[in-house]
Chain A
Amino acid sequence: NAGVTQTPKFQVLKTGQSMTLQCAQDMNHNSMYWYRQDPGMGLRLIYYSASEGTTDKGEVPNGYNVSRLNKREFSLRLESAAPSQTSVYFCASSEPYRQGSYEQYFGPGTRLTVT
């Protein structure tokens, strides 16, 4: 099993450009998440999908959109990138409906720089 995979690993954008970060999991998990990690701020939830067909805003959704394409895939889109979106982005998945589970499994991250 590959677990959670993310593409790309690195990306440099100019202000105003758009891009989509891709995430896929092969663990048949119902729930998926997008976080950003910034120094001194821990992980902040951008959007999440509790189950296929649903998405909800997290703590810092402004400037982002998401698509839960199917049970495996959850993408994050930046429509018009801003320097404040320079960060490391992590995708995660979990299976909260299985007793004794609940932990999240993380991808390796995408390092995004917006100039």
Chain B
Amino acid sequence: AQSVTQLGSHVSVSEGALVLLRCNYSSSVPPYLFWYVQYPNQGLQLLLKYTSAATLVKGINGFEAEFKKSETSFHLTKPSAHMSDAAEYFCAVSGSGGYQKVTFGIGTKLQVIP
């Protein structure tokens, strides 16, 4: 069994401020973890993924996430928000090895205030 909890369905930050989007997971097997971004009226795009290599993962557009097994967390950060970061962000978890279903969180809408 696996699940994902995203804390905060809406997050607002000022342009230039730190972005922190929280994700906690539950998995009975070693997890693979993902962050996706969805811009308005578009599909989801992969931002970054953790697949048991380095625990600090760098993604596109300056985002990064750190896998912390002891905290069962995979929070997404970006040092300085840009207006173009306004979107909805989804955390997801799957098992590893062969076919595994992916479970998505309910999403966090990021608003960037000029």
Give the interface of A toward B (CB within 8 A). 4, 30-31, 40-43, 45, 48, 50-51, 58, 90, 92, 94, 96-97, 100, 102-109
Contacts and interface: CB of A to CB of B under 8 A. Distances in A.
A48 B101 contact: yes
Contacts, number: 53
Nearest to B4: A42
A102 B90 contact: no
B104 A43 contact: yes
Interface in B6-62: 9, 32, 34, 36, 41-46, 49, 51
A43 B90 contact: yes
6 contacts: A4-B43, A42-B107, A50-B99, A90-B43, A102-B102, A103-B49
Contacts of B70: none
Q: What does DSSP make chain B's interface, helix, strand, loop or mixed?
A: loop
How large, as a class, is the contact surface on chain B? Answer: 20 to 34
Q: Which 10 pairs between the two chains have the least Cβ-Cβ distance? A: A106-B43, A42-B106, A106-B44, A43-B104, A50-B99, A96-B99, A103-B46, A108-B43, A42-B104, A42-B107
B94 A109 contact: no
Nearest to A101: B51
B105 A42 contact: yes
A105 B102 CA distance: 12
B43 A107 contact: yes
Interface in B90-114: 90, 94, 96, 98-102, 104-107
A45 B2 CA distance: 14
A102 B49 CA distance: 9
Nearest to A106: B43
A102 B9 CA distance: 26
Contact of A109 (B36, B43, B51): B43
Contacts of A45: 101
